[in-house]
Structures are given as C-alpha cells and as structure tokens.
Amino acid sequence: MATKKTSKEEIIKESVKLFKLKGYYNTSMADIAKACGLLKGSIYHHFENKDAIGVSSLTYIHDFFVKEVYSIAYKTHLPVTERIELFIQKIDDYFLHSEGGCLFGNLALELASEKLSFTQVIKEDFEAWEEALAFMLKEKYSDKEAMVLAKEYVALTQGSIMMMNLHNNSEQYLQVGQKIISLLKEES
C-alpha cells in the first residue's frame, strides 16, 4: 500500500529518525533539511513550521502501527494465539531495528507538558495499542483484567525500550514479548 513517496513523506521519514536519535529541540530545521538534501528554507514549502513536522511525524508512525500492527488484533478469523504472536512479532521487528527507541515514548518525555498537540497524538497511539492488546486478552480475561494487563504491558514495553536504548543491549527487551504471549498461551 506504499503511496506516492512524495517529498513530504521523505521529510517525515528523515525527521522521525532525527527526532528519535537527537530529540525534538535538539534537531534543527537545518538538520532535517540536510538529511533530505534540501536547504532549510525549502522545507517550508512542505510544512508550515517545525511543530507541523513533529505532529506529522507522530501521526505517520501512529498510522503505520494502526494499519500494520494494531489491526492484527481484530483479525478474528485467526486464532488469538496466532494473532498475539504476529502482533508481538511486528512490534519486536520494529523496535529491535529502531535506532533511538520509540518516537512516542521519547517525545512523550521530552515534550509532555509543553506541546499539547503532540501529547494528543501520543496518547491516541498508546490507547490504540492498549485497546488492541486488551481486545485479544479478553478472550481469556475479564474486560477489566484485560485492560489492566494491556496497560501494564504497554508500560513495560516502553520501559524496556528505554533500557534497551540506554544500554545498547536488546537482551532484556525480548522477554517482554514472550511474557505477553504466554499470558494467552499458558493453560490457566
């Protein structure tokens, strides 16, 4: 479903990389422009300002996760054990190859109290993630239990990405996915 690969998308892709690695404030418009082979003035043909790039970057990643990952939870023609494994697989694939960790987590901590338009998208993503997980967990747990477990596992995943990022070491991270899977696979 890859779309036109417009310049706009290229700018977003490069911005995502930079925001993850360098942070939002520490990434300049010149950094973004350089990464795209442009001059900084030229970016304003595509985005109104830096914040617009920030929001678009978050939305871009959010859309990817909704379409490619969270949607898996709702493919009820597949058994839930298969769905949860696919779900975790996709998430692991993404974060184990994502230099700089998770854009949502990073910007959540850097900008939480300052840029409300950003936190809005971040919250929406985390909620979609939690709901998708909870939807699957409800096959075995009560609605309330499922939601609590889902929230816990999203938080744990974010904390693990933070540690993985800090230590440049993915060992610990991997066990998170397996724990989630086992929540549904273990015989009760």
Rounded to 10 degrees, the C-alpha dihedral 55/58/64/70 comes to -120
- If the CB atoms of residues 80 and 122 are measured against a second copy, the closer one turns out to be 122
12, 15, 17, 27: which one contacts DNA (CB under 7 A)? Answer: 27
Question: Closest approach of Cβ 72 to a second copy, in Å?
Answer: 22
5, 99, 113, 187: which one contacts DNA (CB under 7 A)? Answer: 5
Question: Closest approach of Cβ 78 to a second copy, in Å?
Answer: 28
Q: 2 is in the binding site of which of DNA, a second copy, none (Cβ under 5 to 8 A by kind)?
A: DNA
2 binds DNA (CB under 7 A): yes
9, 31, 110, 124: which one contacts DNA (CB under 7 A)? Answer: 31
Helix (H, G, I), strand (E, B) or coil at 71: helix
Question: Closest approach of Cβ 31 to DNA, in Å?
Answer: 7
Helix (H, G, I), strand (E, B) or coil at 58: helix
Question: What is the Cα–Cα distance from 146 to 180, expressed in whole angstroms?
Answer: 11
174 binds a second copy (CB under 8 A): no
28: left (phi over 0), alpha (psi -120 to 50) or beta: beta
Q: Residue 115, Cβ neighbours under 10 Å: how many?
A: 16
Give 16: exposed, middle or buried? Use CB within 10 Å, 0-12, 13-18, 19+: buried
Are 150 and 137 spatial neighbours (Cβ–Cβ below 8 Å)? yes
157 binds a second copy (CB under 8 A): yes
Q: Which stretch binds DNA (CB under 7 A): 4-12, 68-76, 113-121, 132-140?
A: 4-12
Closest Cα to residue 130, out of 111, 107, 150? 150
74 binds DNA (CB under 7 A): no
Give the footprint of a second copy on this chain (CB under 8 A).
21-23, 25-26, 100-101, 105-106, 108-114, 119, 122-123, 126, 148, 151-152, 154-160, 162-163, 165-167, 172, 175
